[in-house]
Amino acid sequence: MFHGIEVWAASVPDLGSLDRVNATALADLSADDLAVLLEEQRAAYEELRKRGLKLDLTRGKPSSQQLDLADDLLRLPTSTTDSRGVDVRNYGGLEGLADLREIFAELLWVEPEQIVAGGNSSLTMMRDCLVDLMLFGAVDSERPWGKEETVRFVCPVPGYDRHFTLLESLGIEMVTVPMHDDGPDVDAVEALVRDDPSFKGMWVVPTYANPTGAIVSQDVAARLAAMSTAAADFKVFWDNAYALHHLTEDEAKSADILTLASAAGHPHRPIMFASTSKITFAGAGVAFLAASTANVQWYLGHLGNGSIGPDKVNHLRHVEFFGDAQGVRDHMVRHREIIAPKFAEVDRVLTERLGGRGIATWNAPTGGYFVNLDVVPGTASRVVQLAKEAGVALTPAGSSFPYKQDPEDTNIRLAPTMPPIAEVTEAMEAVATCVLLAAAEQATGRVSAGA
């Protein structure tokens, strides 16, 4: 059932007071008033199309202004050796530079021996782990996952499309559970994994989840760490991509999943991933994997068959750039100053244009890279189509669900970080018009074939 406008309680503080404009809900309009609204929105949409916009809210990319924050990396490193005298130009050090691992071990609440610093992509590390699990099995597996008749993953939705693409490429079946404000629906997860050994793992984005902005609570994390699973080698892929990407001064702290799992007797269950992709240079950062020491050795053992070591020059570059963990935190404040106003602008436009209409819900996240917009069920694809024809590129409807199939056709992921704020305003005004038009079309049963 669609419940209308809801600006969630986790709104962004200190970004200006936003006026809440009341408007009549579509459900309260007469047939004549709906017809008038439809014609008004069609006219507004035609004016929108005439403007020839070329705007893009499809991917969560850092803006050029954010990338500029790390330009000093281009003049680093100033040395060829780290603090331990390791020549970073040479082979070796498969686990990554110790100085860098120490910095991010502190930030991710793990011990240095539990973390690996790799190349620029945490997604590559995730794929490596999945492939190794399928081919060889885990440290606690009886046999390779690929030898099982069926392998399934629990996928909280809405979720990250690239997670789903990875699983689909390997033939791993996906079963969805709802993603709540405090994390995955643990009751639903437990019901799936308790008695069915084909469920081998699940995805979790614990802090400022993609795209909902949810933060996994300590209680939910503890249940995931301790729950009974039919598969003894069940894995929680803990993708902490946005752990440091705060939009407010009230910074959420990620649950300490490794300690929780170890205390519950499942030390090898979680495998954590993170990176600097949205911290320094998106295409030239450093990715991290953190897990039990046995899992780390398992990962490095397989990695060593195809690598003699990561780019330690880039590792040292990042060590010199940040200095220590506090240097990373300070750097992220500068990111927040750039992108927080963009998220506030998304909220302002949506509230002014759609507030009180009963046709959309969205979150005002306290961190991360996305705004999660739900429109009238059955209209998300139409909204994306209308926006595209008006020159505004949105992530395809359904992208936040496995197999790109949103059963209610209601979810749209918005990514406001990359465009300048003036373009964010333009894009959101256009999106609001498309949402109103699609809702009016559905309410009247009159979809325009030419739009």
Strands 235-239 and 199-204 turn out to be: parallel
3-state secondary structure at position 215: strand
* pLDDT confidence of residue 24: 83
Sequence letter at residue 274:
A
Sequence letter at residue 379:
T
CATH class given for the domain over 26-66+330-444: alpha beta
Average pLDDT along the chain, 451 residues, taken 10 residues at a time: 32 28 77 94 96 93 97 98 97 98 97 97 98 98 97 98 98 98 98 98 98 97 98 98 96 96 98 97 97 98 97 98 98 98 98 95 96 98 98 96 97 97 97 97 80 50
* pLDDT confidence of residue 447: 75
d(CA 326, CA 341): 24
**Buried/exposed code over 376-413 (b: 16+ C-beta within 10 A; e: otherwise):** beebbbbbbbbbeebbbbbbbbbbbbbeeebeebbbbb
Tokens of 422: 């003036």
How many CB atoms lie under 10 A from the CB of residue 245?
23
Q: What is the residue whose two structure tokens read 């949103």?
A: 406
**Domain map (residue ranges) of the chain:** 26-66+330-444, 77-325
d(CA 315, CA 436): 49
Instruction: Establish whether the linkage from the previous residue to 184 is cis, with ω within 30° of 0.
Output: no
DSSP label at residue 61: P
Sequence letter at residue 297:
Q
How many CB atoms lie under 10 A from the CB of residue 271?
26
> Which uninterrupted H or E stretch holds 265?
none
Strands 199-204 and 152-157 turn out to be: parallel
DSSP label at residue 166: H
Domain 77-325 fold? Aspartate Aminotransferase; domain 2 (3.40.640)
| Residues whose CB falls within 8 Å of the CB of residue 72, separated by 6 or more in sequence, listed in order | 321
* pLDDT confidence of residue 8: 29
Beta bridge partners of residue 116, listed in sequence order: 289
